[in-house]
Amino acid sequence: MDKRPNITANDVKEGSCKEELSSGRGNHGPQVTPDRHQVTGKTKTKTGIKIGTWNVRTMLQKGKLENIKKEMERTGTNILGLSEVRWRGAGKIPSDGYTLMYSGGESSERGVGILVDPKHTKTIKGYWAVSDRVLLTKFKGYPMDINIIQVYAPTSKRPEEEVDKFYDDLEKAKSQCKSQEVKIIQGDFNAKVGKGRRDDIIGEYGLGESNKIGDRLFEWAKMNDHRQHLV
């Protein structure tokens, strides 16, 4: 895991993060290629903003960013969270009116991002690249601001210490959000929550048996009194 600057809530403000979080991306051209993946989760706010999440597997392929933008246009998605981006470093880049915030590590693994369409780019107040698994972006909203935390959780095969660090990073991101603000926590949790309702946290339309990662997510959601959209 790469070491990151000690960024506080004061760094989540107008404009991009500090220069220490520099771009580590490669040269991604405009070539468009077929993509079998689709947006896997969407939320529509009362004001009509569509927010989605998608595990894109990688954005190292030439033309992948263009494919994702076209998929956003096709589905009418305004803000799209991305998991498994695989770009190195962290940064904020423009692309034909769109804006992409991304957070990766020192190697081309894991990585998360949030892509915003041209209409809503001006609502971005700031972002915090917490780790290569957690990214917080704050948007100007009315009557309250909106915080989107995009995640890519470890699988059940990863060491327990890595899972613990993921939830520590998630708590760090969540702590930057004011209590009265909207908080959306989304992404690929790599969790199986099982079939059947569990308390007031998990609905009745799950599948199969829960796994250790799913149980951990349930306990975290219960402790934080959140209902989660799991992808």
Instruction: Domain 39-153: give its CATH superfamily.
Output: Endonuclease/exonuclease/phosphatase (3.60.10.10)
Cα–Cα distance, 36 to 50 (Å, whole number):
21
Give, in order, the Cα–Cα distances in Å from 180 to each of 44, 123, 140.
19, 18, 13
> What is the reported pLDDT for 18?
34
- 41 half-sphere exposure, CB direction, 13 A CA radius: 18
pTM score, whole prediction? 0.76
| Helix (H/G/I), strand (E/B), else coil: 173 | helix
> What is the reported pLDDT for 212?
87
Would you place residue 1 in the very low, low, confident or very high pLDDT band (cuts 50, 70, 90)?
very low
Phi and psi at residue 135, to the nearest 5°: -135, 130
pLDDT in tens, 216-231: 888 888 888 654 444 3
DSSP result, 126-164:
EEEE--SSEEEEEE--SSS-EEEEEEEPPPTTS-HHHHH
State the average pLDDT over residues 19-30: 34
pLDDT over 70 for what percent of the chain? 75
User: Where are the domains positioned within the chain?
Assistant: 39-153
Phi and psi at residue 149, to the nearest 5°: -110, 115
Q: Is residue 41 predicted with pLDDT exceeding 80?
A: no
Cα–Cα distance, 156 to 225 (Å, whole number):
23
Q: Is pLDDT larger for residue 152 or for residue 224?
A: 152
Angle at 154 between CA 149 and CA 159, to 5 degrees: 140
